[in-house]
Structure 1
């Protein structure tokens, strides 16, 4: 079955009175999810929005948005995601730029005059009420020109190395992605849960919601990741498997969560950003829970490689640092930057992927990596993050690893900023471990021991918290902006 057919069959078979999606103590039943899904389909029909038309969703981790997401997707229309956590001016500019014919959100967002004006400049503003009703305004929807038929989701990338850009993910890509992971047919509805702490407006959170729904499990939604809330959900619902981004894993370790609180967990999958092997080792040693790294990208509509539990038991000690092996039907190769020719096993190159999710074509990613003789994939950095300093390439990941090896440093981020003489130079910000003390000068000295002169940052700044995207990835774009906005280039 394709995604649309699966969602239609799922809602038809779902037991109406059983709980489906919960936030805190508030639970929506499958009947309520079905009701709001059908309501958004009816609304779009009344507005004359046919298959392929865009429906803007101001996505929040709440039960009503699970129903709205299902309703738009099973109707064959396109979900255009907007982040309601942005400041109103930035959100309004995003809406005006994309001009969807209808935008749906909660009253406290849609009701902001600036936001409503941005929506109604081109389309209809719709409030999703707490009881599941959709309250649409009087405006007439705009015409849809230039949208791509067959697009399921139009969403922003995370914007870790530059301004976020919108990508279009087709229904065919989602069909292939879920098929690769064994999803298909009408699920067996269970009382087991999937805990979703990643924002639905990001590809990781949206994927987790859809995959949990398709599996027939209940959704436990967290509006945002907080250690105490997440631990309380694990203790209450006792899942065997959960998903956490690396930054959240680190927060769990730093909070010294008692081992017995996580005793139900067998494994944690971790994606979105690279998960440091040291963090995985620490987590496994502390809790005895395997951390299964995954690799994917927004453009692939999901993961394309991952550790399985069986592989992790057999291979992890020998393949430490890998993100696992590509899924069935997915091919990955490392290629030479100069010629595009495939590199031999074990040699680093720019990664290319070919699968049904890429339309059967080799697609060049922004990632650098290698594939060993046993098929395990290792990510070594990003090609688009490289800093060209006076003709020499500086890879931020390498500099970050050196900074993070200092016992006082919890996390570090390195970015390039413009330099009149050298073109670009690296700068760094660091977040210290609790109770730790170190000076920027001491961190620079540590860099001098491990790095070549051109790799050493021209400035280091200590901050309370590293800038992160909604998906908790470090934002190198914001790191660069911190230095570009200031007059100093020295050590701070």
Structure 2
């Protein structure tokens, strides 16, 4: 097996960093940094990290953290993703349990969150030199094929770590046959926009996509509508990526088609997006929305819409997440593993193209169906079904009905235990800032769209739904909000 330091992914990173040192690479906070500056910081980090070892990084959306991430890959190590926004106590416990030979982060994060006895490397700016601020003995090097130990989104419970190999990232970014994509001879001229968090697979994918194709990019700390719109107007990217929550913010804003001139497609994933929202976006801006289906465990996407498919099939297949992509294989099975036929509902199983030949089917907890043309519909999650007095309720269907109300920006639906019925659905609802409504109005709206047993027994109107770094509702936080609250509606 090829050792990580010599893996094509690491080799290509080196080649790109040396391609055009004076060309612009990353814009952050309205300041451009060059490929040469990124290369210097990346090699500096690589020189400081233990070779082929797991290295924790308290990742924030900052250029120096991109350099740290790339530096660990150059050293053939494993980036262990640590989310600095999970709460201080949980982060400290996590770092202690991991017992890593090195933790990288901003000085403030390291000082506040890492035990004084640990080895740490402070990175506080792309134009500065990393500085080791604490030391301890480092374990001897071992060969590892794991590139990133990624945190899942944590929407249905505590986040867990998933190992993504060098091969998985290599194929995820460049396709099932990476050799078909030679190293570019010069940096790209178009500028991409990256607003996905580095602690999420979407951020890792988009950063590597830009680096491996030598495309300069604007790196945003988070999605903020005004800043995002200004960058889109300035650079006129051909495509942008928006999670559903951000897409709905753009949809319900005062932005016009002129503000998004040049954008030919919007990609959207990480959470369900209704066909109605996709249609409304295209009607307002004239831009098709290409939804996709991915998971951290797969190392990226396994299904999605293309522009060609959208032109030909959208009206007939609206609501689908597209067809298998990147060499992935998809099938739907019964609980006992029996493969089901066309348009039959069951559990989705996947062989991701990123994993290569010889991989077994991976069973998901997603309920799905696949039609005769290969289009995939995600119908909900089997492990989130709410059983209310014997009636099965799919939270995504209730959420979609709530979000169809014109005053609603977003919703999250979870189960709450009920001593009589077993459990009932409850909903947290975020309203659009320019619209107001009452819970009674929402209930009237839902009675025309849902069965009586599907209507939430408690609705909380909030300024903002708690979300994970990927933009998905944090269902654990939503459940905690409703724990012990009384019934609002029966």
TM-score by length of 2: 0.92
User: For structure 1, which segment, 151-160 or 437-446, has the greater mean C-alpha deviation from structure 2 after superposition?
Assistant: 437-446
Deviation at 1:141, TM superposition (A): 4.2
Measure the CA separation in 2 of the matches of 1:190 and 1:287: 26
Q: Secondary structure of 2:488's partner? A: coil
Identify the residue that residue 375 of structure 1 maps to in structure 2: 374
Q: Which position in structure 2 is the counterpart of 1:277? A: 275
CA contact (8 A) 2:58 2:81 kept: yes
Contact 1:58–1:83 at 8 Å: present in 2 too? yes
Between 229-238 and 79-88, the greater mean CA deviation after superposition: 79-88
Indicate conservation of the 8 Å contact 1:459/1:490, yes or no.
Answer: yes
**1:266 alignment partner in structure 2:** 264
1:246-269 C-alpha deviation (Å, 9 max, x unpaired)? 111111122221221211111111
Hey, what does 2:145 align to over in structure 1?
150
Indicate the larger mover: 403-412 or 198-207.
403-412
Select which of 9, 25, 47 maps to 2:15: 9
Q: Which runs of 5+ in 1 are unaligned?
A: none
Distance 1:386-1:50 versus aligned 2 partners, 3 A rule: same
Q: Report the alpha carbon displacement of residue 208 of structure 1 after superposing the two structures with TM.
A: 0.5
The equivalent residue for 2:119 is 124
1:407-422 aligned within 5 A: 407-422=406-421
Native 8 Å contact 1:27 1:63 kept in 2: no
Shift of 1:162: 1.3
CA 1:373–1:89 in structure 2 vs 1: closer, same or farther (change >3 Å)?
same
CA distance in 1, matches of 2:269, 2:140: 35
Deviations 1:408-456 (A, max 9, x none): 3332211012233433221112122344343323433443443334323
**Structure 2 gap segments, 5+ residues each:** 1-6
Counterparts of 1:330-345 in structure 2, within 5 Å, are 330-337=328-335, 339-345=336-342
Partner of 1:215: 213
Residue of 29, 37, 42 corresponding to 1:24 = 29
Q: Is the 8 A contact 1:444 1:460 kept in 2?
A: no
Instruction: Give yes or no for the alignment of 1:38 onto 2:46.
Output: no
Query: What is aligned with 1:289?
Result: 287
> Is residue 20–residue 28 contact of structure 1 (8 Å, CA) maintained in 2?
yes
Distance 1:399 1:243 in 2: 26
**DSSP 3-state at the match of 1:273:** coil
Structure 1 segment 214-253 matched on structure 2, within 5 A? 214-253=212-251
Superposed, 1:96-175 pairs within 5 Å as 96-112=96-112, 115-117=113-115, 120-121=116-117, 123-130=118-125, 131-141=127-137, 143=139, 149-175=144-170
1:54-98 per-residue CA deviation (whole Å, 9 max, x = no partner) reads 111111211112221111113220001112234333322221222
> How far, CA to CA, are the matches of 1:259 and 1:178 in structure 2?
30
Shift of 1:458: 1.9
Q: Structure 1 residues 140, 286: closer, same or farther in 2, change over 3 A?
A: same
Instruction: State the Cα deviation string for residues 309-362 of structure 1 (Å, max 9, x = none).
Output: 11111111111111111115211011113x221221112211100134345210
Give the CA deviation at 1:182. 6.3
Q: CA deviation at 1:144?
A: 8.0
2:446 paired residue number: 447
Distance 1:68 1:4 in 2: 13
Q: Distance in 2 between matches of 1:93 and 1:468?
A: 22
* Structure 1 ranges of 4+ moved more than 6 A: none
User: 2:4 maps to what in 1?
Assistant: none
TM-score, normalisation: structure 1: 0.91
**How is 1:296-445 mapped onto 2 (pairs within 5 angstroms)?**
296-337=294-335, 339-358=336-355, 360-445=359-444
Check the 8 A contact 1:180/1:327 in 2, yes or no: no
Matches of 1:479 and 1:407 in 2, distance apart? 22
* Conserved? CA contact 2:245–2:410, under 8 Å: no
Give the whole-Å Cα distance in 1 for the aligned partners of 2:137 and 2:318: 53
Q: CA RMSD in A?
A: 2.2
Question: 2:76, 2:144 within 8 Å by CA — same for their partners in 1?
Answer: no
Q: Which moved more, 1:405-414 or 1:24-33?
A: 405-414
Aligned length: 478
- The answer to whether the 8 Å contact 2:249/2:409 transfers is no
Query: Does structure 2 conserve the Cα–Cα contact (< 8 Å) formed by 1:213 and 1:219?
Result: no
Q: Which moved more, 1:405-414 or 1:97-106?
A: 405-414
Quote the Cα distance in structure 2 between the aligned partners of 1:215 and 1:255.
33
Q: Does 1:180 align with 2:175?
A: yes
- Take 2:269 and 2:55, find their aligned partners in 1: how far apart are those partners? 28
Mapped partners of 1:452, 1:276: distance in 2: 19
